[in-house]
């Protein structure tokens, strides 16, 4: 009888421990969530890549535009930044880029851009022959041309173009649906379909009437935030 009593006590104690562990690991939407994305992904989502290589605006042929786009992808390869989504208990939120990661990205691009400039210029002018013809006509050397373009495409400005100011507002959450409503008159709510665990918030779909926002977010799906 005593052995049975001890066994029951052990089982109850084990059940209590498991119950406490389950409560401790219960998923909560409240907290600071972080999502790491690479610069190429941000550029693609923002539409900046299209603007940089638009044949209509730049005067480049489609072949030149593709070569320039491929070179920019090399420049941004491996560069990443962290998006921070802070969901507070009072149902307010902020969404922004982590400053440290943005600074690191800027420093990397500052070093890489001058190194890649000859390749970028060659792509822009359709090859070495086209570039040499332009340099001769302009009376410039490759070093001068590279310096001019490096000045125009400053790394810190590129980073700013890939990031936006912090978004603030309120949110609601019901099972599987996170709705963010930014401050400001006329702002359209952003509805995210999410999968929530104790340490992971996975965004699998977005829905908003703002076409630009919808396009940008959809280009980054799925987005996996972690606490």
Q: Which pLDDT value is given to residue 195?
A: 97
Helix or strand holding residue 226 (H, E): strand 223-226
Q: Could you read off the pLDDT of 176-216 as tens digits, one per residue?
A: 999 999 998 778 899 999 999 999 999 999 998 888 778 88
Q: Does this model's pTM top 0.85?
A: no
Query: What are the residue ranges of helices labelled H in the chain?
Result: 2-24, 39-46, 48-53, 55-58, 62-76, 99-124, 128-138, 142-152, 155-162, 211-218
Q: Could you read off the pLDDT of 93-113 as tens digits, one per residue?
A: 999 989 889 889 888 988 888
Q: Which pLDDT value is given to residue 93?
A: 98
Q: Of 22-26, 59-63, 124-128, 170-174, where does mean pLDDT reach its minimum? A: 22-26
CA–CA separation, 202 and 192 (whole Å) = 9
Q: Which pLDDT value is given to residue 199?
A: 96
Q: Which pLDDT value is given to residue 227?
A: 95
**What value does the mean pLDDT of the chain take?**
81
Q: Of 4-18, 87-101, 131-145, where does mean pLDDT reach its minimum? A: 4-18
Give the Cβ contact number of residue 49 at 10 Å. Answer: 18
Q: Which pLDDT value is given to residue 166?
A: 81
Q: Which pLDDT value is given to residue 20?
A: 34
Burial class (CB in 10 A: 0-12, 13-18, 19+), 84: middle
Confidence tier at 160 by pLDDT (50, 70, 90): low
CA–CA separation, 147 and 117 (whole Å) = 9
121-133: average pLDDT: 90
Cβ contact 73:40 at 8 Å: yes
């Amino acid at each position: 009888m005593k052995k049975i009593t001890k066994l029951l006590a052990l089982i109850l104690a084990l059940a209590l421990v498991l119950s406490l562990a389950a409560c401790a690991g219960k998923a909560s939407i409240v907290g600071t969530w972080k999502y790491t994305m690479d610069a190429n992904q941000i550029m693609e989502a923002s539409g900046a890549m299209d603007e940089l290589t638009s044949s209509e605006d730049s005067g480049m042929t489609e072949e030149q535009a593709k070569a320039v786009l491929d070179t920019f992808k090399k420049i941004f390869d491996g560069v990443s930044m962290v998006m921070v989504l802070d969901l507070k208990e009072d149902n307010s939120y902020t969404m922004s880029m982590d400053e440290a990661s943005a600074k690191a990205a800027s420093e990397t691009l500052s070093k890489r851009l001058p190194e890649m400039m000859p390749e970028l210029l060659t792509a822009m002018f359709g090859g070495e022959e086209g570039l040499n013809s332009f340099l001769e006509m302009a009376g410039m050397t490759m070093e001068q041309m590279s310096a001019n373009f490096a000045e125009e495409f400053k790394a810190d400005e590129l980073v700013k173009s890939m990031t936006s100011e912090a978004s603030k507002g309120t949110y609601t959450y019901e099972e599987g649906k996170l709705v963010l409503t930014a401050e400001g008159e006329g702002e359209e709510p952003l509805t995210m379909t999410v999968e929530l665990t104790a340490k992971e918030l996975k965004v699998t779909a977005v829905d908003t009437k703002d076409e630009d926002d919808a396009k940008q977010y959809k280009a980054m799906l799925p987005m996996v935030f972690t606490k």
